[in-house]
Amino acid sequence: MNCEEFLRALTVNTHSSIRIACRGKVLYVDPFRLETAPHDADLIFLTHSHFDHFSPEDIDRVKKPGTVFVLPESIRAETAGKTAGHTVVAVQPEEAYSVLGIELRTVPAYNPAKPFHPRANNWVGYVLCLDGLRVYIAGDTDATEEAAGVACDAALLPIGGKYTMDPAQAAELANRIRPALVVPVHYGSVTGGAGDFERFAAALDPEIRVQRVI
């Protein structure tokens, strides 16, 4: 898969609600504020348990018999009501896994100096290998050293500030890890403003492609 194929496979419903159709499978990350109920999820990834990332009503809209959940071990108990009867892969930061034939690695997602996402919670982002394309879905994080060490071809980075990186910080991170493609998320809805995309794009190295999806 190349970046163009990835963009055709990608939908960002709003905020950080991500859908990827790849290899005959449908993957969701943090489904949120969906307007339909397709019940088509083969895999649901959760990054952490805040309301805009763990949305029980939206999980009900996409899960089906056989849906597999990938989520941090630290939120397994509080999400159990929605994952009961399903296979759950409970993950730890900085580990590698294989789920339904998809290789993935977890990246710590946290705020070093803000209270919203403590490192001790062991919440995560994911690097997914999708037909050879390494896709980093950062979750709610600041520009940490762990994030700066990610090797990826495409990155979905939060840019809304307050709870995560702001546009300038996210652009600095992207300029360090140098994906071929970056898709900004986590702005313009729960947090962040309409001008965040432009501020991010202006600070990004022009050799890195940026794609507006929301």
Looking at the structure of the chain, the number of domains it has is: 1
Residue 176 DSSP class: H
Joined together, the tokens standing for residue 43 give 């895999």
Interatomic CA distance for residues 76 and 105, integer angstroms? 18
Closest CA to 153 of 168, 137, 166: 137
Beta bridge partners of 39: none
CATH number (domain holding residue 29): 3.60.15.10
pTM attached to this predicted model: 0.96
pLDDT tens, position by position, 117-139: 999 999 999 999 999 999 999 99
Domain of residue 94, residue span:
3-210
Q: Residue 111 corresponds to which tokens in the numbers above?
A: 């705020």
pLDDT tens digits along 161-176: 889 999 999 999 999 9
Q: Torsions phi, psi of 173, nearest 5?
A: -65, -45
